[in-house]
Structures are given as structure tokens and as C-alpha cells.
Chains A and B, each alone.
Chain A
Amino acid sequence: MSSPFSALARESTVGQPGFNRWLVPPAAIAVHMCIGQVYGFSVFNKPLTLALGTDITKVQFAYQIALMMLGLSAAVFGKWVERSGPRKTMLASLFLFCGGLVLSSLAVRIQSLPLLLFGYGIVGGIGLGLGYISPVSTLVKWFPDRPGMATGMAIMGFGGGALIGSPLAQELMKHFAGEGTTGAGEALLVMAGSYSVFMLFGAFLVRVPAEGWRPEGWVPKAATQAITGASVAVDTAWKTPQFWLLWVVLCMNVSAGIGVLGRAADMCQDMFGVSAAIGAGFTGLLSIFNMGGRFAWSSVSDLTGRKAVYSIYFILGAALYAVLPYAQQTQNKTLFVACTALIISMYGGGFATIPAYLRDLFGSYQVGAIHGRLITAWSVAAVIGPGLINSLFTSRVAGGIPKAEAYNGTFYLMCALLGVGLVSNLLVRPVSERHHLKQP
């Protein structure tokens, strides 16, 4: 007799002949757009500070823990994700991520900061990691002919999650706010319920391809310099120089992007003297480019190759950063907005292209687990990126440089980070044959 959990097993999710692979991207997007809520956590900063009677840095700590746990859990559970299949992993992600939201709501009710840190940060953060890597690895396997475009769609969903999560939370809090309540607890609870429905939809729609499945009429190209036809196991992959070069590539790309994204509203106000509403509008615009760039650039990478597209990110990104001080000196807002929007599109593109780059180098056998370990670069970048920018900016302001000009130094620092990324990218070579699996 089959167990009630057998429907969750990898074997039960194998797509039958005739299954339309285009059903998998919406399943992946459904999960990613829910967990992408983490990017919109800042809308809870003030309400949670009031509700818990604490200060804002302690509330923000929950977000930082969640991002750290995202990287750690993706790295630790990557092999389990590959073994268990996407359905079981997506459901685990649902329980943990939405469970984290429920615990956060409870934390508001009983006014417990530790419960918020545990619920949103640790429990929810683990859910984030599982939910992030599982659909990506599945899509790479369904779309061997267009892996960049496929992973771009899912990771675009993650970028879109912030666009949905922030206004949704604001609307809900407005609805529930009343005498003695900010509405944050109720909003978190409703979000947990709504996200559960979408994630459940994703988990039951997702399928994995049968062993040896190929898109109709598609013939794999012979292994080239850039794309290996072989597979490399995760335990071997992370010991290769290629893995660490890509780690640096991702870390530098993310650090440089966060430089603008993290301070976008302040930067716009300080450099051009615009109002807070315009600063917020600028952030909104960047979020759209962040989301669109994920799909657009990773699709471009299917045509240009991964190494070429990352070289574009780094060279063009550095050139655009170098133009920003000029935009400030001439008070050219249009130039500033255009450059930063393009920079942020490449920041998103960097996230979305990395799974396809990994698949080119290490094959699709354990690409989810390898991706999971590489994501630790994101966690590190999330700490060092804003840290570098903030400390340099603060020291320049303390040194008497006007706020409007103090950002210029940080832009040149971003150019340097992108330069490091470019060198790492150019050093990437195909993985030595001795690392290839004989029989995956």
C-alpha cells in the first residue's frame, strides 16, 4: 500500500509523456514570488518596532537573519533538495516560510522580539533557502535548450515578490490598523494564508523530467569550450577553482548592485535635493528594472553565452558607475536614473544567470545543490556590500564632504568591485575531465 506521502516523492512527480513543460515555469514563479516577500520586509520595520516596543535595528535583524539562513540552508540542504525532488521541497518551504510568518504574527501578539527573530529569521529563512533553489534546478532540467531564459523566469518571480509583498503588507496593515494595533500581526497572518495557497499550487503543478528526457527535436550541441556535456557531483564541484571563481563573480555583482539598491531613496534625495516621495518613486522604478533584468539578461545569455554576458555586466556596470558622479555634478537626473536602472537590471541579471552558468560548467546532475552552496556568496555580499558603502559614505561626510558629493567615492568603489568580478569571470575555464562523473 502506498503511503499518503508517496505523492510527494520525486518518482511521483515525473512528467508523463505529453506533459507540457511550460507548466513548470508558473509553478516555479508561484513559489518565488511568495518567498520574494523578504525583499519587502522593510515595510514592517516601523509597525513592528511600535508593536514590540523595541528599536528598529533589532527588528531589521530578523531580515538579516533570514537572508543569512537563506544562504546557509540552501548550502546545507542542497543535496536533500536534489534527492527529494521539487514537490517535497516546495512543501517544506511552504511550511517553514509561511510558518515563520505565523510565528511572527504570534510574536506581535505576545510582544516577543526573540520569537520574531526565531520565526521570521530562522524558520522562515530556512524556508527561503529551500524555496529558492528547488524550482531553479527543476527548470534547468526541463529547459536544456534555454536554461538562462527558464531560470530567469523563476528568479524574476523572486524580484516580483518584493513588488507584491510591500504594497500588499501596506494595504493589509491599513485595513487592520485600529485602536492599539498597528495591524502588522494580522497582516502577517493573512499573508501566510495567501502565500500558502500560491505555494501549494506551485508544489502540485511542478514535475521533473523523466530520465533522459529531451525537448522534441532538440539535439544537444557537442561539448564546447564553454559548455560541458558531462556532470560533476556537488562534493567535487565546490572544490574546483571554477566554483570559487563563480562565487566571487556572484559576490561582486551582488555587492555592487546592493550599493545602489540599499540606499536608492536617500541617494536620490541627497544628490538631487528631491522630495521623499520622489526618492520612494525612484526605488519603485529600480524594483521594476531589478525584476525585468532577471528575465531579459538571462535570456540574452542563452544567445551570447554566460561568460560574455557577465563580462557585459561588469564592464558596462563599471562604466555606468563611473558616469554617476558626472550626472551629480551636472544635476542630470535623467542620466542618473537611466544609469542606475541599467545597473540594477544587471544586478538582477547576475542572480538569474548564475544557475545556467553552473549548469554549463558542472552539468545539470546536481546543479541545485551546487547553486545552493554558491548562494552563500549572496549572504556574504548582503553584509559586505552595504557595510562598505555605508562606512565609506559616513567617513566622507564626517571628513567634511557635502552629502551630495559623498556618494561619488562609493561609486568608484563599486567600479573596483566590478573589476574584481570581471577578472574572476575571465579566469573561468572548463572543469577538468578528472572531475567529471563517469556514471551520474
Chain B
Amino acid sequence: MKLFLSWLLVALPLGWGVTQSIKKATPLFSQPPAQTAPAPVP
């Protein structure tokens, strides 16, 4: 139990930090929005 709690105590903040970095890195992998052609003027 002590072992589990000790690891949990360090894993939680590290996991939070990694999640924040992944969030920050997301734009790197997102495709630019596709250009839609303007609707033809009637």
C-alpha cells in the first residue's frame, strides 16, 4: 500500500504535466482547415 501510494503521489503530477504538454502539442498534428470555396453569387 505504501509503495502504491508513493508511486501514485509522483505519478499524478507527472501525468498532469505530460497531459498539458500533449495538449500544447496538438496543433502540431492538426490539419489546417480545408478551404471552402465561397458560395456562387446568384
Contact = CB atoms under 8 A, between A and B. Distances in A.
Secondary structure dominating the interface of A? helix
A164 B17 contact: yes
Nearest to B17: A163
Contacts of A285: 21, 25, 28
A288 B18 contact: yes
Given A164-B13, A277-B27, A23 B21 contact: no
Interface in A186-245: 198, 201, 205
Interface string B1-26: 01100110110011011101111111
B9 A30 contact: yes
Contacts, number: 73
Contacts of A27: 6
Contact-size category for A: 20 to 34
A282 B3 contact: no
Given A20-B3, A163-B20, A281 B10 contact: no
A171 to B, nearest CB: 9
A23 B2 contact: yes
A109 to B, nearest CB: 27
Contacts of B14: 29, 33, 157, 160, 163-164
Contact of A284 (B2, B6, B22): B22
Interface of B: 2-3, 6-7, 9-10, 13-14, 16-18, 20-28
18 contacts: A23-B3, A26-B9, A26-B10, A27-B6, A29-B10, A30-B9, A33-B10, A162-B17, A163-B20, A163-B21, A167-B17, A198-B9, A198-B10, A198-B13, A281-B26, A284-B23, A285-B21, A291-B18
